[in-house]
Amino acid sequence: MENNWRDQPTDDWRAFGVSILGTFMSTLDAGIVNTALPTIGAGFGAGVSGVQWVVAGYFLVISCLLPLFGRMGDMYGRKRMVQFGFFIFAAASAGCGAAPTLWALVGARLVQGLGAAMLMANGPGIIMTAFPGPTRGRALGLVGLTVGLGSLAGPGLGGVVIQAMGWRSVFYLTVPVALLGLALAQRFLPRQERRQDETLDLAGAALFAIGMVGLLLAVTRGHEWGWTSAAVLCGLCVALGAFSGFALWERRCPHPMIDLSLFRVWPFLSGNVAAFLAFMAMFCNAILLPFYLHDMLGLEPGVMGLVLSSLPLAMAVSAPASGYLSERVNFATLTSCGLFIMCCGLAQLALLSPQSALWRVYLGQMTVGFGAGVFMSPNNNSVLSSAPQEKVGLVGGVLALVRNVGMVSGIALAITVFEGCQAREFSLGAPAQEAFMAGFRAALFTGAALACAAGGLSLLRRRLFAQNPKRSDCTALPEDL
């Protein structure tokens, strides 16, 4: 079918600025809120089991709604969705700051997740529209820089703000940023005509949301409830049933929420699988390294923050350079190199001991971050370029969903491997330090194996693309150097 979808001309870098403002706000907010959780718990007299929903509820809403809001951006216009996203995020942030109880705070965070999902799902589509030519790679590279800087600034800024003005201020801080984004979106984003020939697939959206809730509850709580417990098995059964019904419905629906035929496009499928494995690998490290730094090396929180910040700093340096190179070098070469670099960094961290020098931790973190930056920009470019223009919002939502589910799955896998190996060592009479290190090494080597598997898939992508460059709708890519 001929593509009649057209955007009005726009100033590309101004539109890009609107997109990355939403990205920066979302990543910054995540880091700040995580820093505030102990203070929030103390303020409301709540334990970890209650406070965790401040983060978990936000994440669940985002994961359930990303494809829907990407699809709505394609249908109704990304400008409208981004404006609604900024407005909802601002209002919900104010509600979070004024929350009188913990569960009022959780409710406001659910609404905040609604706004964040609108921004995250439509940001890539804005960039794809604003940069249709060869400069798209460097624009996507700058998105990686923005994510790195937001992740880098969040924990440190959160600590300063909380100490000076209390935990409520971290939510009020994002209100003026979101209102600024709303004003800039109104001024600089192009208007799009509503697609009158399509309807929104609400039944598919409901089935998808039910499946995601069941899956994520089972994955995130599996190590706590037990992987064979009734609650986890029930969640997995709900997910299996809902996703099966979703797949059947999407094949029959005249205007499906997710066009399943996209998964027959090799760059789309392989790029999303590689991203899922890469984020699982990264978060095997992210969840356990803080415990190593605190329990094994005895570092103070300030020093721990500096060590952990080295990963997003390296990512912020490598992502723009990789994005620029993706305009000239076969994307599969860059993604493979990035994933194998990440694998080496995780293996290096897995070889740490309680007596290791701190520079080895810095080196491992920066190696992982450098590899992640090299991988992400060209991978996102290849996935987004593999879809027709009228579906780029949906593809952006799927990319963000894969990232979030990969993070959660990586954390769950790391904790499961860590606790299993630690329990085995304890049963053999090993002291606590040895048991910890056995579980730590096993989990990080698992992450390294995931990164290596993703790198192998990317090498296969390069070989298959070279053999048959017309196997997808992907834009033409330069031959590798």
**214 neighbors 238 (Cβ within 8 angstroms):** yes
Range with the lowest mean pLDDT among 67-81, 163-177, 315-329, 383-397? 383-397
Say what the pLDDT of residue 449 is.
96
> Which of the two residues, 294 and 280, has the higher pLDDT score?
280
C-alpha angle with apex 337: 331 to 340, nearest 5 degrees? 140
Range with the lowest mean pLDDT among 141-150, 173-182, 386-395? 141-150
Say what the pLDDT of residue 126 is.
81
Stretch 88-103: mean pLDDT, rounded? 93
CA-CA distance, 295 to 305, in Å (whole number)?
A: 15
352 torsion bin: left (phi>0), alpha (psi -120 to 50), beta (else): beta
Percent share of the chain, pLDDT over 90:
26
Stretch 153-163: mean pLDDT, rounded? 71
pLDDT higher than 70, residue 195: no
Tokens found for residue 233: 């098995």
pLDDT higher than 90, residue 342: yes
Tokens found for residue 324: 């620029």
Average pLDDT, the chain: 81
For the chain, domains (ranges, CATH) are 11-188 (1.20.1250.20), 262-463 (1.20.1250.20)
pLDDT higher than 70, residue 477: no
C-alpha angle with apex 195: 190 to 196, nearest 5 degrees? 140
Q: Is 3 helix (H, G, I), strand (E, B) or coil?
A: coil
> Which of the two residues, 73 and 358, has the higher pLDDT score?
358
Tokens found for residue 162: 């909380």
3-class DSSP string for 108-147: HHHHHHHHHHHHHHHHHHHHHHHCCCCCHHHHHHHHHHHH
Say what the pLDDT of residue 151 is.
64
Q: Model confidence at 237, in pLDDT bands (50, 70, 90)?
A: very high
pLDDT higher than 90, residue 291: no
- Helix runs in 253-300, H state only: 266-291
Rg (CA), the chain: 22
**Model pTM?**
0.77
> Which of the two residues, 141 and 161, has the higher pLDDT score?
161
Distance from CA of residue 202 to its chain's centroid?
A: 24
Percent share of the chain, pLDDT over 70:
85
CA-CA distance, 373 to 370, in Å (whole number)?
A: 5
**pLDDT tens-digit series, residues 364-413:** 999 999 999 899 888 887 887 777 766 766 777 788 788 878 887 888 88
Q: Model confidence at 285, in pLDDT bands (50, 70, 90)?
A: confident
Say what the pLDDT of residue 469 is.
45
Q: Model confidence at 48, in pLDDT bands (50, 70, 90)?
A: low
Q: Model confidence at 31, in pLDDT bands (50, 70, 90)?
A: low
**pLDDT tens-digit series, residues 346-363:** 999 999 999 999 999 999
Q: In 3D, which of 243, 269, 250, 249 has the Cα closest to residue 387?
A: 269
pLDDT higher than 50, residue 481: no
What is the residue whose two structure tokens read 């004003």?
183
CA-CA distance, 37 to 32, in Å (whole number)?
A: 9
**pLDDT tens-digit series, residues 261-273:** 888 888 888 889 9
